[in-house]
Amino acid sequence: MYVLILISKYKYFKRSPEYLKINPNGFLPTLVIDDQPLNESLAIIEFLDEKYPDETPLLPKSLLDRTNVRAIALTIASGIQPIQNLGVLNYYSSDGDKKKEWANHFITKGFEALEVMLQRTHGKFCVGDEITMADICIPPQVYNAKRFDVDMSRFPIISKINEELEKIEAFKKAHPSSQPDAVN
C-alpha cells in the first residue's frame, strides 16, 4: 500500500520547509518507508528491488553485468538528466529556444556516449536480455530527448531498447503521459 503525493515540478522549486525536512536537497523523488525518507531515484530503485525481490532482480548476479548496469544508469541519472532539470534550465536562460538548444546539446552528447556503452552490453535490453535498473532509466530520458527535439535516428540502440520497453505493461503504466498529473 502506498500514498502518491503529487508535487508540481513547477512549484516544488519553492522548496517548502516541510519538504526540506524529508529531502534536504529539495529534489524529487522522495520515498518514505517506516518514517524513513529515501532520496535519489537509483537508491530508491535498489531499495525497492531488494525489499520486494522477484524472480528477475534489477541488478544481475554477475559482478561485471551489475557494474555495467550501474554505469549505464549513472550515465543517465548523473550525467545526462541533471543538465536538463528545470532549475538548471531556468538558471541558464529565460529564453525557451535557448533552453531547448542547451538541453538538446547535452542530451545528444550524453546519448553519443551511452550508445557506445550499449554497443558492448546490449541484447534485447541495456545489459543482455533481462530488464535491469539501467532499462528503467531509458524511457524517461528518451521522452525528454523527444521533448527537446533530439534526433533519435542517431541512436539506434537506445531507440530499439526503448521500443522494446514500450511494449511492457509496467513501462506503459510508468510513462510520463500515463501519470495522474500529466499535462498534455
What pLDDT tens digit does each residue of the chain (184 aa) get?
677 777 666 555 557 888 888 888 888 888 999 889 999 999 999 999 999 888 789 999 999 999 999 999 999 999 998 888 877 888 888 888 999 999 999 999 999 999 999 999 999 999 999 999 999 999 999 999 999 999 999 999 999 999 999 999 999 998 888 877 766 4
Residue at grid coordinates 543517465: 76
Query: What pTM does this model have?
Result: 0.89
Per-domain boundaries in the chain: 12-39, 63-174
Class of domain 63-174: mainly alpha
d(CA 147, CA 170): 22
H helix intervals, the chain: 17-22, 41-51, 63-74, 86-92, 96-121, 133-147, 156-166, 169-174
Note whether 81 and 146 are within 8 A (CB): no
In contact, 158 and 152? CB cutoff 8 Å: yes
| Residues in CB range of 15: below 8 A, 6 or more apart | 26
The values of phi and psi at residue 108, to 5°, are -60, -45
